[in-house]
Amino acid sequence: MSAATFNRDSIAETYAKRHKETDPAIRAIHYLPTGAPPNEIRLVEVNGAITGTAGPEPIDFGVEFGTPNEHKLIVFDVTPEQWERIREGTLPLPEGWTLKGSREIRSRKRK
């Protein structure tokens, strides 16, 4: 299987769905593919349950090492207030990240 079969958008949606199911405090998940390496998934997760005074910092996880779907997942957890500041441009995203081309991954409504 070639690297071209790795479907980043689809895997990002799978993560977003799973994270929302796992963590009810999530308000929104934004997917930021612009400028990311092909096998890197960048998510900003807006979470209403974050406490503490620390500034947000991303955490990265390697996934499926040694398989055709090997990729890196990076999650940037922020409070709703921090997300507003990011949108306003007063709180920076991690270096190299951009909101350009980003989209919110919403849960599909059940019929």
Partner 1 sequence: MNKEQKLWWEQAKSDCAVFVLLRRAGVHECHMLHYLQMAAEKISKAYLWRSGTAPPRSHVGLMRFLQALLSRGLSRKERQRIAKIFDYARPEDMTAWVRQVSPLAHELQNLAPDLSNNGPNTEYPWPHENPAQCPALHSFALWARLRDAEPGRRLVKFIEKAIQRFEQYA
**CA-CA distances (angstroms) from residue 7 to 32, 93, 96?**
15, 24, 22
Q: Does residue 61 touch partner 1 according to CB under 8 A?
A: yes
The rounded radius of gyration (Å) of the Cα atoms in the chain is 14
- From residue 11 to residue 50, the character string flagging contacts with partner 1 as x (rule: CB under 8 A) and all else as - is ----x--xx--xx-xx------------------x-x-xx
Three-state DSSP state, 54: coil
Q: Which residues bind partner 1 (CB under 8 A)?
A: 15, 18-19, 22-23, 25-26, 45, 47, 49-54, 57, 59-65, 70, 72-73, 75, 77
